[in-house]
Amino acid sequence: MPRNAQWRLAARPQGLFKPTDFAWHQEDTPPLGEGQVLVRVVLLSLDPTNRGWAAGDTYMPAVPIGEVMRGFAVGRVVESRDPGFTAGDAVSGLLGWQRYAVTPARSLRRLPDVGLPLEAHLGLLGHIGLTAWVGLVEVGRPQPGETLAVSAAAGGVGSLVGQIGKALGLRVVGVAGSEEKCRFVTEELGFDAAVNYKKTIVRAGLRRACPEGIDVYFDNVGGPTLEAALALLRHHGRIVLCGLISQYTVAGAVPGPSNLANLLVRRGRMEGFIVSDHADKTAQATADLLRWHREGRLKYRLDVVEGLEDAPVAVNRLFEGTNVGKLVVRVAAE
C-alpha cells in the first residue's frame, strides 16, 4: 500500500489558521477492508466552511483534534474492495487533507463523464456549482429583469452565482475586494457592474450600481455588506445566506445588521441553506451548469496552490480575500 501524508487538526483555530493548528503526519495506508476503496487525492478544495469544521460543531460535528482535517476533494480510485468502483474511476467526496484516502464506498460519488477535466468538478460542478445554483434558483427565486447583488463575487461560488444570474436574465452586480477582482467579474464573467469594497463605502457603491434597489442579495460575507444590501432591499426582496466569511475569524459575538427592521417594512425574506439538504436537485443543477458552460455563458477559474504541504497557509487566503476564483490545492498530478 502507498505511503500516505496528511494534515491532522492539532488545535481549534482562533482568528486565522496558524501553522501550529495542524500537524503533518506520514504513515502507510492500511489494507482495505470489505466495502472500502483507496483513492488518490488529486485536487483538494479549500472552502470557507473549513474553518467552521475546525473550530467547533456547526451543521456538521467538529473535526476531532488529532484526526485528518476534513476537506472536499476529487481523486482517482487506486484499488477497490467494493463492486461499485474500479481502479481509475474519478470520484469526489470528503477525502480529507491527505494524499490517499481509505474510505467506505458509500461515502464516494462517482463523477459523471461529462467530457471535462477533473478540475471542472471543483470549479463548476460538485458542491460549488450546486451551492450557487440551489442558493440562487431555489432560495433566491429570481425573476427575469430583477437586480441581483452577490458578495465575494470573484470567489468560487460568487463567480458562478453572478453568471447564473446573467443566464437567467438578471441585472448582476458583484461586490469584491480588489480592482483585479472587479475587472475579472465585469470583463471576463459579464457582470453588469462591480463594487470594490476596499476602495468605496460599500453602501454608497451599491447604491450607485443598483439605483432601483436590490431584489436578490446572495450573501457570502455578512457584516457591512449585508447591512448595505438590507438598506437597498426592494419590496419582497430576498437575501440568500450562503456564508458569513467576514465573521468566521472574528472572536466573540458579532452584532447583527442594525437595519434588520427593513426586512419587515419591505416584506423581505432572509434564508439560510446548506447545499447538502438539496441533493435531490443535483441532476437538474448539473444539467443547467453544463448547458450554460457549453454555451460559453458559464466560466470558472481555479486559483491553484501547488502541493498539500502549503494547505494550512493557503486556506487563510479565503479570509484575507487574496484568491481570485475557486481556491484548490493540487495534491497530485492527474
Bridge partner list, 43: 74, 330
All three cell numbers of 152: 465575494
3-state secondary structure of 325: strand
User: Interface with a second copy includes 12 (CB under 8 A)?
Assistant: no
Of 93-101, 113-121, 183-191, 241-249, the window that binds a second copy (rule: CB under 8 A) is 241-249
What track of x and - describes contact with a second copy for positions 258 through 277 (by CB under 8 A)?
xxxx-xxxxxxxxxxxx--x
Of 39-47, 52-60, 73-81, 145-153, the window that binds a second copy (rule: CB under 8 A) is 52-60
Instruction: Judge contact between 39 and 98, C-beta under 8 A.
Output: no
Nearest approach, Cβ of residue 132 and a second copy (Å)? 16
Burial of 200 (0-12, 13-18, 19+ CB in 10 A): middle
Give the whole-angstrom CA distance, residue 224 versus residue 249. Answer: 15
C-alpha pair distances (Å), 62 with each of 58, 66, 218: 7, 12, 26
Of 33-41, 143-151, 240-248, 305-313, the window that binds a second copy (rule: CB under 8 A) is 240-248
Give the whole-angstrom CA distance, residue 96 versus residue 329. Answer: 12
Selected from 83, 251, 253, 333, the binder of a second copy by CB under 8 A is 253
What track of x and - describes contact with a second copy for positions 276 through 295 (by CB under 8 A)?
-x------------------
Contacts of 78 (CB under 8 A, 6+ apart): 2, 38, 39, 40, 87, 100
CA end-to-end distance (rounded Å), the chain: 19
**Pair type for strands 100-104 and 36-45:** antiparallel
Nearest approach, Cβ of residue 102 and a second copy (Å)? 30
User: Interface with a second copy includes 319 (CB under 8 A)?
Assistant: no
Nearest approach, Cβ of residue 264 and a second copy (Å)? 4
User: Interface with a second copy includes 257 (CB under 8 A)?
Assistant: yes
Nearest approach, Cβ of residue 275 and a second copy (Å)? 10
User: Interface with a second copy includes 162 (CB under 8 A)?
Assistant: no
User: Interface with a second copy includes 56 (CB under 8 A)?
Assistant: no
User: Interface with a second copy includes 244 (CB under 8 A)?
Assistant: yes
Binding site for a second copy (CB under 8 A): 52, 58-59, 222, 241-244, 247, 253-261, 263-274, 277
